């Protein structure tokens, strides 16, 4: 899969972080991250990349936004911090991400392509602009998955038991649900239009 190369000005925005951690070292180095965990994990818990702590990794990528259309890729700015991954439309305004998930698992599906799953089993595919960053991202996402697993094991809870606004439940599942509803509405609309078209043709004859 080939995508247009980004200009040097866009590439300069990236701030590489070559430091890597094991899941244990990462959690030990950022004990304050545990303060984001609600005493009641079923209650509302949200994370903001503007105020949260931890080692952040960010890059421009392509996201396969429409899973029904393999050619539909959207340019996003991916930001991962602790166990949370957010996809943003730009690299300067992080208040409202397109989607946010807790990383549950990750696998490489190509030289520059990664498939990430959230705790609900929803998947998103990302295509990295820079192949030299693939190993770094894969390593960092595996750490995130370990941190997410630690959380669910600590509270003995499933994603479906969490609040709809929980950061660990994420917003990808809601995005996919809305996507399915929209596709269903389009299908019904097209069927109605076809039916009306058939009736008009029959009256004309």
SS3 32: helix
Quote helix, strand, coil % in the chain, to nearest 5. 40, 20, 40
**pLDDT value at 202 more than 50:** yes
Mean per-residue pLDDT for 131-146? Answer: 96
pLDDT class of 49 with cuts at 50, 70, 90: very low
Question: Whole-model pTM?
Answer: 0.70
Check residue 29 and report its DSSP letter: H
Q: Which residues lie below 8 Å from residue 86, measured CB to CB, with a gap of 6+?
A: 49, 78, 79, 80, 94, 97, 99, 100
Tokens, residue 124:
């998103």
DSSP state of 98: S
- Highest mean pLDDT among 10-14, 24-28, 172-176, 177-181 belongs to 172-176
Which among 21, 62, 38, 50 is positioned nearest to 146, based on CA atoms?
21
H or E segment at 145?
A: helix 134-155
CATH 3.50.50.60 matches 8-204: no
50 pLDDT more than 50: no
pLDDT (mean) for 71-98:
92
127 sits in which H/E element: strand 123-128
The answer for residues whose C-beta is within 8 angstroms of residue 173's C-beta and 6 or more apart is 118, 120, 122
pLDDT at 95 over 90: no
**∠ CA 116-97-89 to the nearest 5 degrees?**
95
Look-up: residue for tokens 């609900």?
120
Higher pLDDT, 145 or 5: 145
């Amino acid at each position: 899969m080939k995508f247009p190369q980004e200009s040097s000005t866009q590439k300069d925005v990236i701030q590489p972080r070559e430091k890597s951690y094991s899941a244990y070292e990462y959690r030990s180095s950022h004990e304050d991250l545990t303060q984001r965990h609600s005493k009641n994990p079923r209650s509302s818990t949200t994370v903001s990349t503007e105020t949260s702590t931890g080692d952040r990794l960010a890059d421009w990528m392509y996201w396969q936004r429409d899973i029904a259309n393999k050619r539909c890729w959207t340019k996003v700015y991916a930001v991962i911090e602790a166990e949370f991954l957010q996809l943003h439309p730009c690299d300067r305004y992080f208040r409202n991400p397109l989607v946010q998930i807790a990383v549950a698992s990750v696998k490489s599906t190509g030289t520059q392509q990664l498939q990430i799953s959230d705790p609900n089993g929803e998947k998103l595919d990302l295509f990295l602009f820079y192949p030299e960053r693939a190993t770094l991202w894969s390593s960092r996402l595996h750490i995130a998955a370990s941190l997410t697993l630690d959380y669910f094991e600590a509270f003995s809870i499933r994603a479906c038991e969490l609040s709809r606004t929980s950061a660990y439940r994420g917003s990808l599942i809601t995005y996919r649900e809305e996507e399915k509803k929209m596709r269903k509405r389009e299908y019904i609309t097209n069927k109605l239009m076809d039916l009306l078209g058939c009736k008009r043709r029959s009256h004309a004859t």
